[in-house]
């Protein structure tokens, strides 16, 4: 009888060890208990601070008006490329138009009303030699262009007066004009390449 009891106890112990899920085996020290929940992933990295947006460009319509005049020589409009405000702060603004490798940049510096506009077309070279006089038709066309540019920045085209004009043998043309009220006159300089593209211009106090 005693032998049967010992055998039964031994069989019960063997069955307990063989049954799945048995919690009899001791856990290794330092091993976390399996709760069935997924382990937490690595902590998300904080997002990089976004660059602050530039304030609206003051008188942006004047930048776009000058840009539109220059692009007319290519039969283009500002919508045919990408327009980006490069800088917008008190006393200085810059706007850039680009289409592929063609880049035009317009800047305005304004310090206590001593302002200067600059228009630069990177695709145009306006360096020339052997200046010759323009024809009357060329002078009239340049004078009309000068008047439109003055009006684009809020000036009066009726006050535009030619100072000098010239052209080079390769067709590059340049002209200088005064505009504004007597005693407060400004100067406008225009330069176009041999194909008539507006390459460089500035409007400011007379230098």
pLDDT digits (tens, 9 = 90+) for 112-124: 778 899 999 999 9
pLDDT at 2: 47
Whether residue 12 has pLDDT greater than 60: no
* pTM of the predicted structure, to 2 decimals: 0.71
Segment 39-63, tens digit of pLDDT? 556 666 655 566 678 888 999 999 9
Which of the two residues, 130 and 194, has the higher pLDDT score?
A: 194
pLDDT at 74: 96
pLDDT at 36: 55
Token pair of 168 as six digits: 């080079």
Nearest in space to 203 (alpha carbons), one of 150, 128, 127: 150
pLDDT at 94: 97
Segment 135-169, tens digit of pLDDT? 999 999 999 999 999 999 999 999 999 999 999 98
Residue 54 contacts residue 87 (beta carbons within 8 Å): yes
Which of the two residues, 207 and 102, has the higher pLDDT score?
A: 102
Nearest in space to 171 (alpha carbons), one of 144, 200, 197, 145: 197
- CA–CA separation, 193 and 170 (whole Å): 8
Residue 60 contacts residue 153 (beta carbons within 8 Å): no
Whether residue 38 has pLDDT greater than 70: no
The DSSP secondary-structure symbol of 151 reads H
Q: Which residues contact 128 (CB under 8 A, 6 or more apart)?
A: 167, 168, 169, 170, 172, 174
Residues 22, 23, 28, 29, Cα dihedral to 10°:
170
Helix (H) / strand (E) element for 119: namely strand 114-121
The DSSP secondary-structure symbol of 132 reads B
């Amino acid at each position: 009888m005693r032998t049967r009891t010992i055998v039964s106890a031994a069989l019960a112990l063997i069955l307990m060890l063989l049954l799945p899920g048995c919690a009899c085996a001791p856990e290794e020290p330092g091993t976390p208990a399996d709760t069935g929940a997924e382990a937490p992933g690595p902590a998300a990295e904080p997002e990089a601070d976004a660059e602050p947006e530039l304030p609206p460009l003051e008188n942006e319509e004047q930048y776009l008006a000058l840009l539109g005049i220059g692009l007319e020589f290519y039969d283009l409009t500002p919508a045919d490329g990408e327009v980006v405000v490069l800088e917008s702060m008190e006393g200085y603004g810059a706007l850039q138009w680009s289409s592929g490798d063609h880049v035009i940049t317009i800047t305005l510096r304004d310090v206590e009303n001593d302002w200067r506009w600059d228009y630069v077309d990177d695709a145009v070279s306006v360096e020339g030699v052997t200046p010759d006089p323009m024809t009357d038709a060329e002078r009239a066309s340049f004078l009309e262009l000068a008047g439109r540019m003055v009006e684009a920045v809020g000036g009066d085209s009726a006050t535009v007066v030619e100072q000098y004009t010239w052209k080079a043998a390769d067709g590059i043309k340049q002209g200088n004009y005064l505009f504004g009220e007597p005693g407060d006159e400004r100067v406008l300089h225009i330069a176009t390449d041999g194909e008539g593209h507006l390459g460089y211009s500035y409007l400011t106090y007379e230098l």
